Amino acid sequence: MSGRLDGMVAFITGAARGQGRAHAVRMAKEGADIIAVDLAGPLPSCVPYESATPEDLAETVRLVEATGRRIIASKADIRDLDALKAAVDNGVAEFGRLDIIVANAGISVPEPWNEITPESFREVIDINVVGTWNTVMAGAQKIIDGGRGGSIILIGSAAGLKMQPFMVHYTASKHAVTGMARAFAAELGKYKIRVNSLHPGAVNTPMGTGDMVAALGRAEETNPGLMKMVTPFLPDYVAEPEDIADAACWLASNESRMVTASGVAVDLGSTQF
């Protein structure tokens, strides 16, 4: 049985673990070859959870190859446009094309508004906004050159549709991603390239490791009750990375060929409360 992405090539950032790994494995199962990048090293000091490692990225390679598809993986910081271009150039040289971009890499830092430092604010914006822009810029022309159209998926957040308490910088960055997707969609539409943003709510990923839960708890103590603003409607409460990958795969496939400039929420209804 043929897959929905047979013959396609996807460029995915933040692919070492969590949602990025889930996107890579799911798209490979649907027939795509993968160009994967990840920092796979220490995150900025403001980030309270554990960093991905080279071993994590190697595991993504193993899982993709187990599907029978090909993958080229490399370490790259999404703030480094030249590094991303090199990764895409190497992948396209090997695979011959590019059809899909998934700008997944990003960071989240829980801090009350008056404890956010200029350095922390800058790190979040540089990675989540500039890094997302870099990801599109590194690959969009390759999709255009192929002449077949394609799909670009910017991974946002429920914070990009509503807000996330105790994360002014994160909320600002994800609102920027929402607008960026719409703006790219307008200009790239003439090439049959669709651009959408995908907005997860709480997801069971390594972002919840280390001091992340404690940091959220400390922030919530400054204004109890605000976390209720992102209460899910469904009893599951937390999605799995594969749930988000299901939506990303649909946006990447021809099944969503008439969908562009949309913000697709996979947040258990939390942005509607």
Catalytic annotation, pick one of 49, 170, 191, 237 = 170
CA-CA distance, 259 to 241, in Å (whole number)?
22
Q: Would residue 170 show up in a list of annotated catalytic residues for this protein?
A: yes
Phi, psi of 84, deg, nearest 5: -65, -40
Q: Pick from 269, 264, 120: which is nearest to 195 by CA? A: 264
CA distance 59 to 57: 5
Beta bridge partners of 13: 37
Q: Which two tokens stand for residue 174?
A: 């994800």
Contacts for 66 with CB less than 8 Å, ≥ 6 apart: none
Residue 29 half-sphere exposure toward CB, CA atoms < 13 A = 13
Q: Which residues contact 184 (CB under 8 A, 6 or more apart)?
A: 136, 140, 152, 154, 195
Q: Which residues are catalytic?
A: 170
